[in-house]
Amino acid sequence: MRWFKSTCIAAMSALSLGVAAKAHAQAGLLDSGKLLLTQGISTIEGSSGGGLASWATISGYETGDGIGGNAHETYVGLTNYSLQDFGASVGLFNRVEFSYTREEFDTGATGAKLGLGRNFTFDQDVYGAKVRLIGDLVYDQDTWLPQIAAGVQYKVNDKDAIIHAVGGKSAQGTDYYVSATKLFLAQSLVVDATLRLTKANQTGLLGFGGDKNNSYSPEFEGSLGYLLTKHLVVGGEYRTKPSNLGFAKENDWWDLFAAYAINKHLSVTVAYTDLGDIATFKNQNGVLASLQAGF
């Protein structure tokens, strides 16, 4: 039932984006001038980028004269847990991005083993904003200058009492990041490096700060993609994580992905993900699947 509800919300978001696109098309605001796949995909936290890592890309296929946006639905099935998120983002004039995502982390049968109850769910809202500072992903091919953007994500978790019980300091927190993304068209390569300042435990799903550490930690996110065709990109990502909670060590994340753009309105992403240990349960790996619709 939860899956049906979130899918309906994502579908309605996509429909709303489509209606907005149609309304603005005649006004010249919908130009869809970016190359296919150069807007990235929606991350699990809602920003444009890869599945796990934020990039300097701006959501939507708009250029400097228009607006664009996306709605997405993502599911990550792991050994003991699952994560489902859905949300929407809008890009303004290829300069500013705003995003919202609802994350639902389901403990499944493992919830009973943790003393929380079967199918206990941690829910988190992520509000994001990003601004492109310098560079252009497509047009700066004659220089080594990447597209560089700065972003912020404000996260609110709904399980304050549980988070404090396991050693977390807060159920809400803010991440800050700077991303540099470079597209090498001649080599069909896209490369990204992101520096994130965060206190988040498992990206905030287990709160922020902890009994081991309550200071901001600089963390790295890196991505490498190869364009097999103009519709298909394959690659991998790596994301380092802080480990703030004494009761459970937190590991770095990585994935291997394939993203296929059917057209500029619909794309599908699948990935093998390895998220390490989560809340004392080891080897949390599985499959990420994401559907994105927009303009």
List pLDDT tens digits, range 108-146. 999 888 888 898 999 999 999 999 999 999 999 999 999
According to DSSP, residue 83 is labeled: E
Q: What are the phi and psi torsion angles at 26 (to 5°)?
A: -70, -20
Q: Closest Cα to residue 84, out of 164, 155, 5, 175?
A: 5
Percentage of the chain modeled with pLDDT above 70: 91
Domain tally, the chain:
1
What is the domain range of residue 260? Answer: 2-294
C-beta separation of 153 from 47 below 8 A: yes
C-beta separation of 21 from 13 below 8 A: no
Tokens of 140: 């700066």
CATH code (residue 92):
2.40.160.40
Position 32 pLDDT exceeds 90: no
How far, in Å, are 36, 213, 215, 267 from residue 231 at the CA level?
A: 7, 43, 42, 9
For residue 43, what are the contacts with CB-CB under 8 A and spacing of at least 6? 49, 50, 51, 52, 53, 54
pLDDT grade for 30, boundaries at 50, 70 and 90: confident
Position 2 pLDDT exceeds 60: no
Q: What are the phi and psi torsion angles at 163 (to 5°)?
A: -60, -45
